[in-house]
Structure 1
């Protein structure tokens, strides 16, 4: 999927090509965005901006994705884009661009902002597995390598079951924001292994939340994650250097796990 197994997690309105390039000596992947692709999610993004949150709101979001990924063609990392949408047309267009550029397409089932959830995107997808299935299948059918960003601690949501849904529809990775329930990564990793045996899908597990040092890296990787991601400190070289060193050390000690 990417090496080293450290990803930069998207931060809405902040994570662009310049942000990714500033950290390419540390990370194996950088997930740009998130970006609202269709009318309902763009309106939600405008409402978020109106209350002082940062959002990318280019005139043409599909073209914006293409330009940003093109700017990273020679970067020493794998680029990706975190996207939010309620309709499939623009999702298919962006998935095709990601496929052409060898980038990851990350579906955002993570954003918990009321405006985005009311539009039918973000965290609302965790409670609507049919629509999540549809989005994963659409992106996968367009040839993209598909990741789904999810969060723990959503009442009534079984992340292990959602992991199997992602695998069944052709997804390639699940990116878990563990919140304050780090052990959920073990449940997701176990479900990912089970999905591989039943659906033939090698589902890659990325663990997120509080990744800062050797201790946090080891905790997530010991739970079975294949990689970790850094969010808010992604512009802090000291944190990224520590995390990269911890990831490299972990896998150097366990060469059989890298396969």
Structure 2
């Protein structure tokens, strides 16, 4: 038997960089370095572990929707061990929100062929965490989200979801969509051999016409969610310095009480 796993990944601005909005209030990607979303690294890791622990012939494909530089995110996933990659790029995708992105991902997943889709719990830029559920709805398959543990056996995906007060054991018949949390296991670091091998692995490039999507279904003008205004974060002010001359503890307690921290 064979198992086709598609991992959805996102190319995001580096959170440690100096990020800004462009004139249209989308993120100015030209002004900051990008990288594979850290939360998506956990999804790649879990897909690779399923592959390594399976007796079936498993193919792991990484899929992203983004600008030209998003290929860097794909190369990182390929260097970790994924088999091939798909990059959906089109100028008309600029400003597409989560709902539009889920449409593009669904069309791409269907075109690629799949048994299981694995996603991170959220992206590290938008942090909405809704795309896996939207994707499952568009594909018409079960969703098993926010898993701390995941496995596949006998055409069934199983996983553990840890909540604040309970732990759930969940399962669904394939095909299905799952998302994994940052508690699912540390993502592996690409080896030199993996980095060199990634350069030879296939990366397909598709645009909207390849997916039979009209431009009026995506993009900033057709988004259901938009940023209406944005302002620079105010500069940090100097903190309050308490000199302890015997009354430091009282001053600290008064400071915390005044701000209702205690």
Does TM, scored on the shorter chain, surpass 0.5? no
Task: Give TM-score, length-normalised by structure 2.
Answer: 0.30
Task: Give TM-score, length-normalised by structure 1.
Answer: 0.30
**Does 1 or 2 have the higher relative contact order (CA < 8 Å, sep 6+)?**
2
Higher helix share: 1
Higher strand share: 2
Please identify the structure whose Cα radius of gyration is greater. Answer: 2
